[in-house]
Structure formats: structure tokens, C-alpha cells
Structure 1
Amino acid sequence: MTVDEAAPPGEVLLRATDLTKHYPVRGRRQVLRAVDGVSLEVRGGETLGVVGESGCGKSTLGRCLVRLTELTGGRVEFDGQDISTLSNRRLRRVRPGMQLVFQDPQASLNPRRRAGDIVAEPLLVHRYGDKHAVRRKVGELFDVVGLAAAHLDRYPHEFSGGQRQRIGIARALATNPKLVVADEPVSALDVSIQAQVLNLFADLQEEFGLTYVFIAHDLGVVRHVSDRIAVMYLGGIVELAGTDALYAQPAHPYTQALLSAVPDIDDGTVGGERPRERIVLTGEVPSPADKPTGCPFRTRCPYVQELCAVERPPLTMTASGRHVACHYPLAG
């Protein structure tokens, strides 16, 4: 991938090259292309947002980036090391530096274990110290995420949804990671609690120098937290740009349609942006197991032309430094 002029300065911490994850379709001679040739870079200290409709491959991509899901093909480099084919034993040495926060805080926490034991588990696995040192560390982590150390012995069901997600964040922070992949971490929370958790993510990034891959379907949330945004459609990235540039002038027709669906809270005068005309896409989203020829978006694109049915557009850099996979981009 060429250098993105919209990317913040700093060393590349995570790099994916032509990343693929395919699943066989039971009873059929087909594969479901959940992630289909994704290339991206994430620099230390930045937040890369990943957005798209349900089923576009966002969560699968996040799991592949931290090798929680095995790759079908491609390459992932973390902190200068190729982790694509590492054995489980060697991957275990890398695990402390890359962690994942899950979408559903209730489903991701063992209901039969106390909160303190859940957060302590990665410390014990990676031999942080004796039980007293682990207990002290867990208490510190509870304090960092805004929970009372007195609640270490409570079970997950005794916490609210927002508090359970804070437990999940504390567990992710236990190994002092450089990279955190947050897989829709606020989508299961009430709006008021979402704001608190998003502010916590921002505070933790500033305090510990964390790098985030922040996966979400809510474009408002992604705008609030991201330095750059990757827009996914049918397993591939169709646009990758700095947040301000992408919201001001989307280059891909799919990005344009997504942004037009974001509810306006005013007449568009705040921030100098004009109200967007609502773009309603027609047709069904194609199956990842039976993608259209040429451009995957062509069956729903209002600007489709003959070339779109013949040739799949590569993700290429425009003159402004953004990346877009479109034969006829709306912005340069």
C-alpha cells in the first residue's frame, strides 16, 4: 500500500497486506468471502475507524488483525513482526501487545467468575507475578477504568452494562498492550453510557499511548473517535481517508450513501457543513458467497457504468492522499 498523506506521523504499528478470510459454504461448492483482499496500515497512537453495514466483514477483519481468527491468505505484521503464520506458542509471546474489546459485555464475561478473577486471568496466563501482585494490579486496573476496587468480588450480573464493558476494557489493558481492537464496544449500551465509555477510550489512549482499531456501524460514533476511517463493503475497503476529509466530501458512492443516512441535529450550519440529500440505495446487498462481477457495489450504485461490470476497481490513492476503490470517484 502506498503512503497515506492523511495518516498521522509515526511508525507503522500494524500492517495488513491482501488479507483474506474465506469460509466454506456447507453443501455447496462456494466460499463465503468475509474478508476479501484488505490492505491497510495503522500508525502508533492513532485511531482507525472501520465502518460498514452489518455483514460487511468488519468484525472478522478485527479478529484476523489480532490472529484470533486464522487467515485464509495475506499477511499481518504487528510491531515489525510477521504474525501471519506464527505457531500458537510463538503467538503467545506477541499476545500481550495486542488485545480485543468485544461488542457484548455480558456475553464476553464468564458469568460464573468474579470480576476480579476475569481481569486477573491474562495476568496469570502471562505470569505477571504472585497472587498478591496480581490482586494489586487488578485493583489498579479497576481504578483506571472507573470501577471501585471494592467490587472485585462481584459477579458480572451485579454490574450495569456500562460497568461490564469497563471490566472488559480493564481485562484488555491488563497486559499493557500497544494495540486495542474495539469491536463495536458501545453498540450494546444506552446512548448516555456510550458517551462515558467513548470518553474513557479517549482518556486511556492519551494516558497509555494506545493505538485503536475502532469498529462500529454508527458513523456518528466513528467520527467522534477516529483519526482516519476505512469504509468496508462486502469484505473489502472501498474508501480510506482522514475523518474530516471523508465527512466533508466522500469519494466513493457507498460512503456518500452512508453519510447521507446520518441524522441531522441541526440545519447543517454548525461546522460549516451543508445538509446532505438523502440517498436511498435500491436492491439487496449481494451475498459474500456470490459477489457480482467487477465492482461489488455496482448492483446498488446510482452512478454505475459499463466498466463497473467488467473490472473490479483497486484501492488506489487519489491526488488528495485518500484511498478509494472506484472507477469514477466523486472526489479526488
Structure 2
Amino acid sequence: MLRATDVAKYYPVRTDALPWNQGRNRAGKVLRAVDGVSLEVRRGETLGVVGESGCGKSTLGRCLVRLTELTSGRVEFDGRDITNLSARRLRPVRPGMQLVFQDPQASLNPRRRAGDIVAEPLLVHRYGDAAAIRRRVSELFDVVGLAFAHLDRYPHEFSGGQRQRIGIARALATDPKLIVADEPVSALDVSIQAQVLNLFADLQDEFGLTYVFIAHDLGVVRHVSDRIAVMYLGEVVELAETEALYAAPAHPYTEALMSAAPYIDDTADADGTPDTADADGTAAPGTERRERIVLTGDVPNPVAKPAGCAFHTRCPYARERCAVERPRLTETSPGRHTACHYPLTAPGGTGRVNSQVSTA
């Protein structure tokens, strides 16, 4: 459905907005928001994109649907190269790819009624006369679980979850094939998150949708995704099937990210001791125990990225090669791609192979 090849988005760094720097620019300085990302999204699947704040997830999502122009690279949608299409030639492609925004409050026009908001893409793409558009909007409200009476209400009259449903209805209006969901549940309460996630799943089953699901909540991504791409400092460092990724992460950053995710140990007794523990309280052989990995140092400045692997300044397994040679995202085992010179899993995904490597 979608293929991105070496997609990059750089923003020039300017300082002339400051009174004491009028007319002065940092010549040649750029912020590398997305730095050479290549991935494919299969028809009918959900590709999760995770990473810490500022890693370039949202910028990548906007680049994939051409809401943000690429600095370099190539994007193909449904077999067609859309990288350099003009606005006029891109217009008939737009209905097939839509975006659900992170903040449902900010993404809805507060001066327009909910029904008019959902009807806008139908008017833009000339869906039909006023009666046909009204019927279509009513159908969309019913699909996302909103009542007909909600059509004439304004966004401030809805809850956060209801506002996000309006945003989803607007995205569905043009019968898209692909939806990029940019952290669509991060601004919602936990109970409402579950309702919206279930709605996404139901819509995918009903309409055969393909999702790129961007989030920083690892539990949410695991619940909804078929495959997961892990981003760090504008790059995809690991791409794998969801369960394989959670069972045995291959990149050190993924390993640290997974260790930070909260989980429930449902094997523990009332006193907190695992059921499989020995008499001395230690875990019995074969019992997996999660250890928190605390990374040292700060995330490097995206304006001055380090040479070699972008993660080597914080990686506990880094070697000399990591500081000078940038790893490419390559297939390290069937279905798994990793951008690491020394991946943590063997070719068959049987376990860590460099756990004793010291920090460079």
C-alpha cells in the first residue's frame, strides 16, 4: 500500500528571529527531523511507529501523506510515486490517504458544527448534492458511534473521546485506503482510549483499512499493531513483527524502551514472590524477569548528530566501529530489520549474542 525510500525532512536552523541576531543565519545548519527512513506498509495491516518524544514520528507521518514536503527520498502510495506531484495532480490521490490528528480539540474548527466539519472533505471532493452529503455525514456519525442529534453541536460541547470520533469520521468521509493515526489516543483518558482503539479495530475489519499508528505508549502499540517500527533521532532502528519484537528486541535502544514499559506480573503470589521462584526467592530457571535498563546521557542534538550510529553515545554495548560507521537498516533475521552493527539477537532470534560487550 505504501513504500517510503530514504525519506528525509530537514529544517534549516535560523537565529535571525532574535533581536540581537537580525540578519544572521547558521549557514548550513539543519535540524534532521527525519533522516533517511525506508519502510513498507502492507495492505490491510497496522504498522506501529514508536519512539520517545522528538524522534520524528509525527513528521514522518506527515511526510508519508504529503502534508509535509520531503527534503529528499521517495514515497509511493498504492503503486504510484507521489513524491513530486503538484497540488493539482495530488488532489485525486488525497481521498485515499487521510490523517487522524493527536489533539482532537485543536484539530477541529471551534466555529463550525460537527456535521459541517465532517462534510467538508465531501464538499471539497464533490461527493454529491447537499442531500447526499447530509446522508453520508449521518452514516459516518453512526459508524463512529455518535448520534444524529450531534450533527448540529459545536466541538466544545463534546467530550475528548467524542471529539476524536468526529476526527475519525472526517477521515473516513472519502473512503480512504490508508489512515495515518498520529498519537490519536494520547490526549484521552485510559477508559476512553480503549473505546477509541476498539473503534479503530472495528473500522479496519469493516472497511479493510490500512493503518500507520504512531504512538509512544508501548502497550497501545502492542495491542493494535501487526508490525512495529522503532525510531530514534529521526531514524528507524528496528522493524519487526510485534510479538517477535517484544519477545526479543534486537536493537539496544528497543531493549531499553521495552524495559521501561509498565507491566503486570500475573505469576506473583500475594507476597510479591513469583510462583516459579525457588525457596530463596530467586526466579526458577526459564522464568523471564524484566530488568529496568537506565540509559546514561542525553539524547544528542538533532542539529549536530554524532558520527556513526546515532545511539552509540548512550548504548551500553557500543564498540569503536559504532562511533565511526553508521549502520544501515538491514534484515538480520526473517521478518526483522535492524540498524545495528551488533544486534542483540542471533540470526534465528534465539537470544543475545553480545551481552558481555563493554561500553566503548
Return the TM-score normalized by structure 1: 0.94
**C-alpha displacement of 1:149:** 1.1
Q: 1:28 is matched by which residue type in structure 2?
A: R
* Matching residue within 300, 313, 319 for 1:286: 300
**Equivalent-residue separation in structure 2 for 1:33 and 1:25 (angstroms):** 10
**Equivalent-residue separation in structure 2 for 1:223 and 1:268 (angstroms):** 21
Identity of aligned residues (%): 83
Change in CA separation of 1:268 and 1:212 when aligned onto 2, cut-off 3 Å = farther
Report whether the alignment pairs 1:326 with 2:340: yes
**Equivalent-residue separation in structure 1 for 2:164 and 2:46 (angstroms):** 19
Alignment correspondent of 1:200: 199
Q: Map of 1:8-157 to 2, 5 A cutoff?
A: 13-26=1-14, 27-29=25-27, 30-157=29-156
**Equivalent-residue separation in structure 2 for 1:273 and 1:121 (angstroms):** 55
**Equivalent-residue separation in structure 1 for 2:60 and 2:333 (angstroms):** 27
**C-alpha displacement of 1:322:** 0.3
List runs of 5+ in structure 2 lacking aligned partners: 15-24, 269-273, 275-285, 348-360
Alignment correspondent of 2:232: 233
Residue aligned with 1:93, SS:
coil
Q: 1:319 is matched by which residue type in structure 2?
A: S
Residue aligned with 2:164, SS:
helix
Change in CA separation of 1:267 and 1:280 when aligned onto 2, cut-off 3 Å = farther
Residue aligned with 1:193, SS:
helix
**C-alpha displacement of 1:265:** 1.3
Report whether the alignment pairs 1:302 with 2:316: yes
Change in CA separation of 1:279 and 1:268 when aligned onto 2, cut-off 3 Å = farther
Deviations 1:187-240 (A, max 9, x none): 000000000000000000000000000000000000000000000000000000
Residue aligned with 2:37, SS:
strand
Return the TM-score normalized by structure 2: 0.87
**C-alpha displacement of 1:154:** 0.1
Residue aligned with 2:6, SS:
strand
Compare relative contact order (CA 8 Å, sep 6+) and give the higher one, 1 or 2.
1
Aligned structure 1 segments of 4 or more residues deviating by more than 4 angstroms: 267-270
**Equivalent-residue separation in structure 1 for 2:220 and 2:255 (angstroms):** 17
Number of aligned residue pairs:
319
Q: CA RMSD in A?
A: 1.3
**Equivalent-residue separation in structure 1 for 2:289 and 2:151 (angstroms):** 48
Deviations 1:126-167 (A, max 9, x none): 000001100010000000000001110000000000000000
**Equivalent-residue separation in structure 2 for 1:267 and 1:289 (angstroms):** 44
Alignment correspondent of 1:10: none
**Equivalent-residue separation in structure 2 for 1:152 and 1:266 (angstroms):** 45
List runs of 5+ in structure 1 lacking aligned partners: 1-12
Q: 1:132 is matched by which residue type in structure 2?
A: A
Alignment correspondent of 2:291: 277
Tell me if the contact between 1:295 and 1:312 (Cα under 8 Å) persists in the aligned partners.
yes
Alignment correspondent of 1:224: 223
Deviations 1:246-301 (A, max 9, x none): 0000000000000000112125689x982311000010001111100000000000
Higher alpha-carbon deviation: 29-38 or 172-181: 29-38
Q: 1:297 is matched by which residue type in structure 2?
A: F
**Equivalent-residue separation in structure 2 for 1:144 and 1:202 (angstroms):** 13
Q: 2:26 is matched by which residue type in structure 1?
A: R
Residue aligned with 1:330, SS:
coil
Tell me if the contact between 1:115 and 1:155 (Cα under 8 Å) persists in the aligned partners.
yes
**Equivalent-residue separation in structure 1 for 2:153 and 2:331 (angstroms):** 51
**Equivalent-residue separation in structure 1 for 2:138 and 2:148 (angstroms):** 5
